[in-house]
């Protein structure tokens, strides 16, 4: 199956596109929402494209691109006692939470802001523009992905 596209959110106080550029590859840990978990576990695979979205930021928006290099596997932090993401209700033989590995691809010179995304009629209907949309892993339509990249390059 052809690669698919996703938007993944993170707060810059936790992790930024600059951190990913430094690290090269990182595990997208700490997702604790079932819908997002299902995407991570069942649908996201190597080669998929990722819009790296920074939320609660100034401005919030897409800061760059990443690529999935490893599909869904159990998020190790759920088993680490004392870890912020530790989940005592998750069993090793039946992990509740999943993660994927992503690789740095590109850091946009300027963030494609949520405001700019909302203003672009070509991006109408994109999930992230929906009010109250808190899902931290979202599918993105190919034309929407391409348009965001185009916006990042058109300065």
Partner DNA sequence: GCCAACGTTGGC
The reply to whether 11 sits near DNA by the rule CB under 7 A is yes
The reply to whether 34 sits near DNA by the rule CB under 7 A is yes
In the bound complex, what is the minimum distance in angstroms from residue 53's beta carbon to DNA?
Answer: 7
The reply to whether 50 sits near DNA by the rule CB under 7 A is no
Pick one of 21, 27, 33, 45: the residue that binds DNA (CB under 7 A). Answer: 33
Structure-token pair, residue 43: 């649908």
Applying CB under 7 A, the site for DNA has a residue count of 20
The reply to whether 91 sits near DNA by the rule CB under 7 A is no
In the bound complex, what is the minimum distance in angstroms from residue 60's beta carbon to DNA?
Answer: 4
- Residue 61 buriedness (CB in 10 A; 0-12 / 13-18 / 19+): buried
The reply to whether 57 sits near DNA by the rule CB under 7 A is yes
Task: Single out the residue of 63, 49, 155, 51 nearest to residue 113, CA to CA.
Answer: 63
Mark the segment that binds DNA (CB under 7 A) among 21-29, 40-48, 55-63, 143-151: 55-63
Mention every residue, 6+ apart, whose C-beta is less than 8 A from residue 69. Answer: 25, 46, 101, 102, 103
Which residue matches tokens 């672009």? 120
Task: Single out the residue of 141, 135, 139, 155 nearest to residue 55, CA to CA.
Answer: 135
- Residue 89 buriedness (CB in 10 A; 0-12 / 13-18 / 19+): exposed
Site string for DNA, 120-149 (x = CB under 7 A): ----------xxxxxxx-------------
Contact positions vs DNA (CB under 7 A):
9, 11, 32-35, 55-57, 60, 114-115, 118, 130-136
């Amino acid at each position: 199956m052809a690669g698919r596209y996703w938007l993944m959110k993170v707060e810059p106080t936790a992790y930024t596109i600059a951190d990913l550029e430094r690290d090269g590859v990182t595990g997208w840990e700490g997702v604790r929402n079932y819908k997002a978990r299902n995407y991570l576990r069942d649908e996201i695979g190597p080669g998929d494209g990722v819009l790296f979205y920074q939320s609660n930021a100034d401005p919030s928006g897409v800061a760059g691109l990443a690529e999935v290099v490893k599909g869904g596997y159990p998020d190790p932090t759920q088993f680490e006692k004392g870890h912020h993401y530790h989940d005592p209700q998750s069993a090793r033989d039946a992990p509740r939470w999943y993660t994927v590995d992503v690789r740095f691809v590109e850091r946009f010179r300027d963030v494609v802001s949520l405001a700019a995304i909302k203003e672009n009629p070509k991006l109408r209907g994109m999930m992230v523009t929906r009010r109250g949309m808190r899902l931290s892993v979202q599918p993105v339509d190919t034309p929407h992905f391409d348009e965001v990249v185009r916006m990042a390059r058109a300065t």
